[in-house]
Amino acid sequence: MEIADFLLCATDIYRHACAIHDIETPLDKPVDLNDRYASWTAILDATTERFKISRGISQDANAPPPPPLDTLTAACGKIAKDLKIRLDRLQGVGNEKDQEKMRAQMQEVWAVEDINTLGIRLQTITEQWSALDSTLE
């Protein structure tokens, strides 16, 4: 499981979450979360598993800082866990036939403030990954 794979998955989820609150976006295609649920959760589960492996980051104030890759992996794991919880709450909502009712149910589960926060977190991690990835080459 690579960080780049996680970022692609999380960005795709973010775009769909944004569409939930965009009245101009038709819901039949852009917000069909059930179609992508299995592939998204597989990537999120793999990221969460990798997070468990790298959790050995010391809390000792005198300890040297963890390697940047461990810190970044831990941040991805935290976001993956949060996204998995949201997706689990949304599963089945996409089966609703009434588009407006489906949109309202999704908005209850995923507030626009939470989606904005996710976007900021993803942008920060993407920038950190880009900087780190260039030093690893």
- Using the predicted structure, report yes or no on whether residue 24 has a pLDDT greater than 60: no
Domain residues for the domain of 32 are 3-136
By the 8 A CB rule, do 41 and 131 touch? no
Query: Residue 2 to residues 17, 20, 46, 132, 135: CA-CA distances in angstroms?
Result: 23, 28, 9, 13, 16
The token pair at 28 is: 């039949």
The rounded mean pLDDT for the chain is: 76
Q: Is 82 helix (H, G, I), strand (E, B) or coil?
A: helix
Q: How many CB atoms lie within 10 A of CB 30?
A: 14
Total domain count for the chain? 1
**Which of 13-17, 59-63, 77-81, 124-128 shows the lowest mean pLDDT across its residues?**
59-63
pLDDT in tens, 68-125: 777 888 888 889 989 988 888 877 665 556 667 777 877 888 888 999 999 999 999 9
Query: Residue 13 to residues 2, 32, 44, 53: CA-CA distances in angstroms?
Result: 17, 11, 11, 24
The band of 30, judged by pLDDT with boundaries at 50, 70 and 90, is: very low
pLDDT of residue 60: 56
